[in-house]
A and B are shown apart, each in its own frame.
Chain A
Amino acid sequence: MSTATSHAEEVHTHDHSHDHEHEHHELNFWTKYIFSTDHKTIAKQYLISGILWAFIGGSFSIIFRLQLGFPDMQLEWLRPILGGWIDEGGKLDKEFYLALVTMHGTIMVFFVLTAGLSGTFSNFLIPLQIGARDMASGFINMLSYWFFFLSSMIMFASLFLETGPASGGWVIYPPLSALPQAMPGSGLGMTLWLTSMAFFIVSSLMGGINYICTIINLRTRGMTFTKMPLTIWSFFFTAILGLLSFPVLLSAALLLIFDRSFGTSFYLSEIYIQGQALPNMGGSPILYQHLFWFLGHPEVYIVLLPALGMTSEIIATNSRKPIFGYRAMIGSMMGITVLAFIVWAHHMFVTGMNPFLGSVFMFLTLIIAVPSAVKAFNYITTLWKGNLVFTPAMLFSIGLVSLFISGGVTGIILGNSALDINLHDTYFVVAHFHLVMGAASFFGLMAGVYHWFPKMFGRLMNKNLGYIHFWFTFVGVYLVFFPMHYIGIAGFPRRYYSFTALGNDSAAAFTDMNAFISIAAIITFSAQAIFAWNFFYSIFKGKLAPQNPWNSNTLEWTAPINPEHGNWEGEIPAVYRWPYDYSKPGAEQDFIPQNIPFSATKSSNLPEEEAEIAKEKDIEGLLGAQNESYNR
């Protein structure tokens, strides 16, 4: 279609050495803001979708926390929103309670922390931090967002079904999810859930392939793998995890679709339900669990690794100090990536899986604690003898490390199969994963938004509101999830509408604590309004951002304050050094950006870095090849 024009453009840009390349694209409103192929616009689309989903998913948790904290409360006032889901007695419908729990999990894990976190920042930061003009394929990147959008719309539509959305828990274990007669949510709601997830997986695969290709192929001259910021490393590992594990979820979903709609028996066997014996024989519900957790466990790291990567960058920048143990950080992320694939069955110790297999997975699971511990210690050592600047992003990053530790240590208990017998599917598990993957990743998301907002919108967010937001959220998260461990140790199971029939006589004792948790949750959730206001207000009215607001070393801050499509107006800068030269002895400033050659910083070069000066010519020599790659 446009071979001729693009060719003409090519020649043109060559002549003017990339001056104002972007002006040659005639962008109307639709191609600029909606069907954009610009990675920055797509990132913003992911971010705003993620924020909207976070408020929906969060509000669900508030509704079911009302039920759990105040079981006698009249919820008649929710009827205008929930309609028939409030029963005649003014109480939350029991099936809708399960639907809320299910949708809260699905939305938060997939739409907020996968799409909203990884989708946003992988898209935004990969090209800007490795020095690329865009993703390897802008078009596939755009498709990736729109598949996510389609998936979102289908999931959103399922909320309005008369039979309710999917309600079998976010893990949708069959046979409950396979049999519409088992619960109303397993009817059309589950069909839409599966359809939506199928599109979501397509979206996430297209995104992941793009991230991997871009990181491998489009690094600017001089940006070797060992000079990449840890953010990029984390996105790289995340994309690999997603690429290898999401297809397995798709296969699990596909077999479930077959069981539901075409009478197969992959997961169904010997079922007698509602006075009827079903003909299905030979299937295994455990098979589904293996397939699901083969994604489900890596998924934990898919949401967590980007948060950890961004935190590394933010903590180093704001400690004015190199990240401690750069290579150990890469090594531990690599270790986590590999181990993430071989620990999945620790979710299944008491599902009837062979106990010997349980022992194997216990060993593997506790190994993964080692790289995680290394990461935590490295963060702490990075703070040590730093010169800490508490931007809101820095506060959220420190919060992340704290939550990562606090939630992580209980994993050592749950990963022990003998101890898991009593704790499996109790609030102890809920507290554990909300801290370590939910809240920690959410803090990473927030840290990333506060840190890169100036690059995204060319304006600054109000930092004082950021501080208030942080302290409310940090204190609030601990108040919600710390006492939850107590309830879990007492043996309260998850997904219970009420605890009246529980064979534990301390049920009454924890009534007050449940009320307390609910109040803390409501306050924490409400505090997010501060963020929403700050975010949307600052997009339009925030203070204009300077070129490099945090005095950071990475490449994105060398791009114009409001980068157009293509990111850099002239040549893409070359990279000569790692991204963590903060407070280097002998340097004029306390930071040396990656694009400053060693020949320009003779006073601060370490002995071994003198040798790097000779290589600068070689790096420069790659310019032609790099430009060539964009003009092919």
Chain B
Amino acid sequence: MFYLIGLLSIIFFALAISVISKSIKLNKSLVADENTDDALDSNNNANAYGMIIFWALGTIAGVWSFMVAKPDFLPIAASEHGVKTDSMFWTSMAVVTLAFFVSNTLLLYFAFKYRYNKNRKATFYPVNHKLELIWTVIPAIVMAILVFTGWRTWRDITSQAPSDAVVIEITGHQFGWYVRYAGNDDNQLGNFNYKLIDETNNIGIDFTDKNSFDDFTATELHLPKGKPVLLKIKAQDVLHSVYLPFHRVKMDAVPGMPTKFWFTPNISTDEMRAKLGKKDFNFKVNCTEVCGRGHFGMSITVFVDEPEDYKKWCAEQKPFLTTNPTYLAKVPDNLKAKASKYIPAEPVAVDSTTAPAAEAVSVN
């Protein structure tokens, strides 16, 4: 990278110096000949040569900087759809780079080739319908192909998550992410209500919903490799945006409007560490929607585990209700029996006659 800077700076300064010296020289000749007032002194040729030099140096610098920067470019895709979008990205990039190169080349070359010559007259060539038609239709066809492939991929990515997807809730706040898992018993996230948020229950889990009882929270995101994961995304205060750079996952977190994104991680943290040759490498969740002072530092660590490791990790996690038994008070009476299963040491007095009845009611 250092060489890149060096080379580009040299190009820049060389160009700058050549232009300055040229114009100083011409300035002098201007002073000598006060009458050279029109734009058509030798400066005209200098500028024409400038165009072609710019093209040549620009091409070299462009290709070279690309080669140098490429290893650091697009991080390895670590999700199934990411592999697809990456290949589509490079295909599209090839198409647009071709368009970019050809049209800039023509532009700068024509600027050079047709520089003013007093012995020549410009060609009066106001219109050619056939040409117009050609360069309306060709871009239209290319666009149509790009759009169509893009649309199919987009449709697949945003389709309904598979029913067996692991459901994880991630909530953005100033400045961090809360993570909640659906629990080991029901794979169903319980309701939440922002008015129930307090210092301990910082997500606002609603304990009147029996699905919340086995939900557990975490300060890091664990994902099973090779299994579809459905992220349910929320925000508490302002807009945030969930961004997993390696997984090509990005979705805004909007207060009052839950969003979602599902994907299948296909490289575990360990495999990625091996690939990159970095023992301390970790995936991250970042924020990509400006949210205030701590926006740039709003990240948590992501672990992609082998499925069995993931299961093991989940089994080790304790439901929120287990670690915070005082929240049992928020559970409505008819569900207390079900909830108390998650309350550890202190036994809760349950009326054995009413409990099944309550259960029945809730099922209805």
Contacts and interface: CB of A to CB of B under 8 A. Distances in A.
B197 A277 contact: yes
A1 interface: no
Contact of A512 (B5, B103, B286): B5
Contact of B114 (A182, A383, A479, A498): A383
Interface stretch (A43-51, A244-252, A422-430): A422-430
Contacts of A421: 85, 157, 248-250
Contacts of A272: 173, 194, 197, 204, 236-237
B196 to A, nearest CB: 9
A383 B19 contact: no
A169 B151 contact: no
13 contacts: A175-B239, A272-B204, A284-B254, A324-B125, A380-B103, A475-B54, A490-B72, A495-B290, A502-B245, A504-B245, A509-B1, A520-B8, A590-B121
Contact of B139 (A319, A324, A373, A416): A373
A494 B296 CA distance: 9
B282 A503 contact: yes
Interface in A356-375: 358-359, 362-363, 366-367, 369-370, 373-374
B311 interface: no
B116 A516 contact: no
Contacts, number: 398
Contact of B2 (A176, A274, A387, A512): A512
Interface stretch (B127-135, B315-323, B333-341): B127-135
B250 A327 contact: no
A409 B100 CA distance: 7
A385 B114 contact: yes
Interface string B277-289: 0100111111111
B125 A321 contact: yes
Given A320-B121, A383-B111, A422-B248, 20 more contacts: A169-B290, A173-B289, A176-B292, A182-B291, A272-B194, A286-B257, A323-B126, A325-B132, A369-B143, A374-B132, A387-B120, A412-B92, A417-B151, A422-B89, A424-B250, A476-B12, A478-B58, A506-B75, A516-B4, A583-B123
A381 B132 CA distance: 10
Contacts of B254: 284-286, 351-352
Given A320-B122, A358-B158, A472-B16, A497 B255 contact: no
A326 B126 contact: yes
B286 A502 contact: yes
A366 B62 CA distance: 26
Contacts of B8: 479, 483, 516, 520
Contacts of A580: 126
A14 interface: no
B357 interface: no
A243 interface: no
B143 A370 contact: yes
B259 A352 contact: yes
Interface residues of A, number: 132
A175 B19 CA distance: 50
Contact of B237 (A271, A426, A493, A501): A271
B256 to A, nearest CB: 3
Contacts of B257: 269, 284-286, 352
B255 A490 contact: no
Contacts of A498: 296
B283 A503 contact: yes
Contact of A179 (B85, B95, B238, B302): B238
Nearest to B89: A419
Interface string B235-261: 011110101111011111011110100
